[in-house]
Structure 1
Amino acid sequence: MILVTGATGTVGREVMRQLPVGASVRVLARDPSRVVGAAPGAEIVRGDYGNPAALERAMRGVRSAFLVTNEVGGDQDARFVDVAVTAGVGHVVKLSAAAVEDVLADDLITGWQRDAEELLRVSGMGWTLLRPRSFMSNSLSWAPSLRSERVVRALYGESVNACVDPRDIADVAVRALTEPGHQGRAYTLTGPQAVSAVWQTDRLAELLGRPVRFEELAPDQARVLWSRRHPAPVVEALLHSARRQREGAKAGVVRTVAELTGRPASSFETWARDHLTAFAGG
């Protein structure tokens, strides 16, 4: 039995869709009605990390699990690991972040991910760590202003990030969940090139066949914008992360996706073409 958490999120949704036909799959979801694309026969368990009874039900008979948590600084990973150990789960594939390898990244989000990784390492279970760069899908946050104003707004628009297609992350995750040889491994995952928000804006304009303007945000403007969605400590962590990107910390490209899947990592153009309706408005 394979357990998938985060199945309504960007990567978890793709993991669920890419699991082999006929695999025994269970999905843990706070709202089962939002789980879309599960294979026929997949078992959906209602619950979350704050519900020990639901976690216990979800992990009965589970051999391997895909773990996604999102409460920065919270105890979701600890709760999951405690129940997984008791339930006898053999292997956990954890979605982490590439920044954990950056010794100068000392922000709240990166520290939380480092702590979560360590929980798995000392748990006694088998583990695999997935450490992606930023998701290409993060550019969907630009879609409303692009559709309404033909404008993309971002901080440090010329800084580059070797962002990765979430589908590639999911492909690696599925292999780690279903194939031998991945336990005790940490995989940094990037796209095929480091790109900037300005460059991405130009590519979107080309694909849409219409002009799109890039507008640089000042740090204080970004702080105000992000504060609408995140608590202050997380906003400051995001600003720290953006400064590390400006300093070149996220420019490195690795071939892990190609080495593990046998095909090149997807380009931003490929990802954007497949999601162009979100930017075009229909």
Structure 2
Amino acid sequence: MILLTGGTGTVGRLVARRLSGVAPVRVLTRDPRRVAPGPQVDAVAGDFGDPASLERALAGVRSALLVTADPLAPAHDEHFVTAALRAGVGHVVKLSALAVTDAGATDLITAWQRGNERLLRESGLSWTMLRPRAFMSNTLSWARSVREEGVVRAPGGHAPNATVDPRDVAEVAAAALLDPDAHAGRCHALTGPESVSAAEQTRVLADLLQRPLRYEELAPDTARELLRARYPAPLADALLESAARGRSGAKARVRPTVEQLLGRPARGYRDWAADHLEAFGG
């Protein structure tokens, strides 16, 4: 049995789809009704804040995908690791972030992920770390303004970023869950095949949509105001710190890991955008 946390999120949902019919999968979620049905896919109610529900979900599990999303709740990873040890889980695949390898990245979110990695490494469990760069799917946040105004607004729009297709991350995760021995003790740095900026992504979308789009740089104060409207102030400030690192080129390096692991080139932004064009009005 393979357990997926974050099974209704960006990566977990794709992993569930990839493993459906390949191996028995149990998806941990607050609301099992949100889990897409599939062969050998079961949903179980649970929450990282409820250790007893984690222990129930992990019973009989041989490998698990660990996806946590709240840097203001560090106990979530602790609860999961403790429950996995008690359940005798064989292997944990942890979704982390490539920023943990950057000594200059000291923001709250990166520090939280470093702590999560350290917790898992020191737990005695077998592990694999997935360290993706930013997801290409983050640009779905532009969908409404692209459809309604023909404009993309973002901060640091000319900063190169080796963004990765979540489908590639999910495919690597599935491989590590199915064959833990081949991935045990390894940290996989996952990027796309090239480094692109938000302004360049805007041009790609315009070309695919066959209509003009305009890129508008968000001023720092405006970006801060928008982020603080969506997130608690500590998280908004961490995202702003991350964006500032990006402007210095810290996120531009392309890694060959996806191709090495999957035997094919990583998907580029044009590939991702073409497959999600409907969201942007295509």
TM-score (normalised: structure 1) = 0.97
Q: CA deviation at 1:276?
A: 0.3
In structure 2, the residue matched to 1:165 is 165
1:115-264 → structure 2 map (5 Å cutoff): 115-179=115-179, 180-264=181-265
Tell whether the 8 Å contact from 2:95 to 2:131 is kept in structure 1 after alignment. yes
Tell whether the 8 Å contact from 2:155 to 2:217 is kept in structure 1 after alignment. yes
Unaligned runs of 5+ in 1: none
Q: CA deviation at 1:20?
A: 5.7
Separation of aligned partners in 2, 1:27 and 1:67: 11
Q: Which amino acid aligns with 2:52?
A: A
Tell whether the 8 Å contact from 2:66 to 2:93 is kept in structure 1 after alignment. yes
Secondary structure of 1:164's match?
A: coil
1:268 and 2:236 matched? no
Unaligned runs of 5+ in 2: none
In structure 1, the residue matched to 2:114 is 114
1:6 and 2:15 matched? no
In structure 2, the residue matched to 1:102 is 102
Q: Which amino acid aligns with 1:127?
A: W
Sequence identity (%)? 60
Q: CA deviation at 1:21?
A: 2.2
Q: Which amino acid aligns with 1:168?
A: D
Secondary structure of 2:131's match?
A: strand
Separation of aligned partners in 1, 2:148 and 2:3: 40
Q: Which amino acid aligns with 1:118?
A: R
Secondary structure of 1:214's match?
A: strand
1:40 and 2:42 matched? no
Q: Which amino acid aligns with 1:62?
A: V
Deviations 1:107-127 (A, max 9, x none): 000000000000100111000
Secondary structure of 1:195's match?
A: coil
Q: Which amino acid aligns with 1:13?
A: R
Give RMSD over aligned pairs: 1.0
Secondary structure of 1:58's match?
A: helix
Q: Which amino acid aligns with 2:39?
A: P
Tell whether the 8 Å contact from 1:11 to 1:167 is kept in structure 2 after alignment. yes
Deviations 1:152-179 (A, max 9, x none): 0000111010000000000000001111
Q: Which amino acid aligns with 1:151?
A: V
Q: CA deviation at 1:83?
A: 0.6
Q: CA deviation at 1:195?
A: 0.2
Q: CA deviation at 1:199?
A: 0.3
Tell whether the 8 Å contact from 2:4 to 2:12 is kept in structure 1 after alignment. yes
Q: Which amino acid aligns with 2:86?
A: T
Q: CA deviation at 1:73?
A: 3.2
Tell whether the 8 Å contact from 2:44 to 2:57 is kept in structure 1 after alignment. yes
- The count of residues paired between Structure 1 and Structure 2 equals 280
Tell whether the 8 Å contact from 2:190 to 2:255 is kept in structure 1 after alignment. yes
Tell whether the 8 Å contact from 1:45 to 1:54 is kept in structure 2 after alignment. no
In structure 1, the residue matched to 2:53 is 54
Q: Which amino acid aligns with 1:77?
A: D
Once structures 1 and 2 are overlaid, which stretch shifts more, 111-120 or 20-29? 20-29
Tell whether the 8 Å contact from 2:20 to 2:39 is kept in structure 1 after alignment. no
Tell whether the 8 Å contact from 2:157 to 2:197 is kept in structure 1 after alignment. yes
Deviations 1:11-66 (A, max 9, x none): 00001111162411111011111112x42232210111112221111000000000
In structure 1, the residue matched to 2:88 is 88
Separation of aligned partners in 2, 1:22 and 1:190: 26
Separation of aligned partners in 2, 1:167 and 1:64: 20
Tell whether the 8 Å contact from 2:21 to 2:40 is kept in structure 1 after alignment. no
Tell whether the 8 Å contact from 2:159 to 2:246 is kept in structure 1 after alignment. yes
Once structures 1 and 2 are overlaid, which stretch shifts more, 50-59 or 62-71? 50-59
Separation of aligned partners in 2, 1:72 and 1:246: 23
Separation of aligned partners in 1, 2:135 and 2:61: 28
